Amino acid sequence: MAKSKFGDKLKGMKSGWDESQNQYDTMFGGVKIDAGDYIAQVQMAKLTESKSSGKLMIRREHLIVEGSWKGTVVYDNMMLETPMGMTFIRRWFEMMGYAAPDDPSEIEDVIEAIAEESATVKIAVKHSGDFINVAVIEVIESDDDEKQETKSGPSAAKSKQKAEPEAEAEAEPEQEAETEDDADIRDALFAFCKAQDIDTEKDDDSEVLCERIKEYKWPEDELTEDEKELFDAAGIADAIKRNEAPKKAKIKREKK
């Protein structure tokens, strides 16, 4: 096959092309890091918006610094605009040594403070279908261990107390990978969105997918029985536009 005029330019990209392999592996699943505990450094944490839903989320990157996966970056997102997402973020702040601010407008300040410290942490990596969940177990070392408060002021003062191991063990189920049934529901929601041409992102969980589906009303007579069962199982049966029951004709009484 004859090469185009771009051949020489493409050849000159060899070094960058090779270097992109690790980025591809960690971002898009070319290589899935084994589940387990790792020592990592907080490489990045920032508040951003989901490209599809526009909802706020925290984008995190942890760089593995020890072991066979050393040099691999683990990416994950923490959804903010959901009750469960807020709960996980409060837990993350606590594990990083920060009190959750009373004023949510200060959340971004705490995130920036955590990112600036670039702390070395112990993380638990767990699989959830095609996705990776990251939970911080403890802070190993911080660039600023003497800091007493974040940029957001006293309301987010840094706590020096570490959670007892028993308390950590009890809190961990919040971050555990989905059950097999939950994963099946998420996969079915993905398949439904794809069939209905609803935009999704690779890191969407069941809750996000349900929100996407609930943006529309789905006529009952246009859904299959399996799809209706899926809506019920996912807790979004209210998104089904039910067929109106036929009105009973009024019976007229005849005068005698």
Q: Which of 109-118, 141-150, 184-193, 212-221 has the highest mean pLDDT?
A: 109-118
Residue carrying structure tokens 């508040």: 47
pLDDT of 174 over the 60 cut: no
Residues 171 and 192 in one domain: no
Whether 21 maps to a domain, the answer reads: no
Where is pLDDT greater, at 222 or 40?
Answer: 40
The number of folded domains in the chain is: 2
User: 180-195 vs 206-213: helix axis angle to the nearest 10?
Assistant: 30
pLDDT of 160 over the 70 cut: no
Burial class (CB in 10 A: 0-12, 13-18, 19+), 68: exposed
- Confidence band for 129, pLDDT divided at 50, 70 and 90: low
Task: Look at residue 245 in the predicted model and tell me its pLDDT.
Answer: 60
Whether 87 maps to a domain, the answer reads: yes
Residues 71 and 186 in one domain: no
Residues 41 and 126 in one domain: yes
Q: Of all residues in the chain, what percent carry a pLDDT higher than 90?
A: 28
Q: Which of 6-15, 45-54, 62-71 has the highest mean pLDDT?
A: 62-71
Interatomic CA distance for residues 197 and 190, integer angstroms: 10
Interatomic CA distance for residues 242 and 223, integer angstroms: 11
Q: Which of 125, 144, 175 is the last residue of a domain?
A: 175
Q: How many CB atoms lie within 10 A of CB 136?
A: 23
Whether 9 maps to a domain, the answer reads: no
- Confidence band for 150, pLDDT divided at 50, 70 and 90: very low
Task: Look at residue 31 in the predicted model and tell me its pLDDT.
Answer: 57
State the Cα angle at 181 between 55 and 136, rounded to 5°. 55
pLDDT of 217 over the 90 cut: no
Residues 127 and 146 in one domain: yes
pLDDT of 248 over the 80 cut: no
Residues 117 and 197 in one domain: no
Where is pLDDT greater, at 181 or 60?
Answer: 60
62: DSSP letter: E
Average pLDDT score over residue span 196-202? 84
Whether 25 maps to a domain, the answer reads: no
Residues 48 and 107 in one domain: yes
Q: Of all residues in the chain, what percent carry a pLDDT higher than 70?
A: 72
Average pLDDT score over residue span 85-98? 92
Residues 185 and 167 in one domain: no
Whether 20 maps to a domain, the answer reads: no
Average pLDDT score over residue span 34-57? 89
Whether 3 maps to a domain, the answer reads: no
pLDDT of 10 over the 50 cut: yes
Residues 141 and 198 in one domain: no
Helical segments of 12-159, H only: 14-28, 83-95, 107-117
Q: Which of 131, 158, 175 is the last residue of a domain?
A: 175
Residues 169 and 234 in one domain: no
Lowest mean pLDDT, pick from 22-26, 89-93, 231-235: 22-26
> For the whole model, what pTM was predicted?
0.50
Q: How many CB atoms lie within 10 A of CB 199?
A: 11
Residues 40 and 166 in one domain: yes
Whether 123 maps to a domain, the answer reads: yes
**Residue 189 near residue 213, CB atoms below 8 Å:** yes
Task: Look at residue 163 in the predicted model and tell me its pLDDT.
Answer: 33
Q: How many CB atoms lie within 10 A of CB 178?
A: 18
Whether 185 maps to a domain, the answer reads: yes
Residue among 151, 162, 205, 210 at smallest CA distance from 183:
205
| Segments forming the whole domain that contains residue 64 | 31-175
Task: Look at residue 220 in the predicted model and tell me its pLDDT.
Answer: 87
Residues 170 and 201 in one domain: no
- Confidence band for 113, pLDDT divided at 50, 70 and 90: very high
- Confidence band for 170, pLDDT divided at 50, 70 and 90: very low
Average pLDDT score over residue span 10-26? 74
Residues 44 and 118 in one domain: yes
Q: Which of 175, 194, 228 is the last residue of a domain?
A: 175
- Confidence band for 149, pLDDT divided at 50, 70 and 90: very low
**Residue 124 near residue 172, CB atoms below 8 Å:** yes
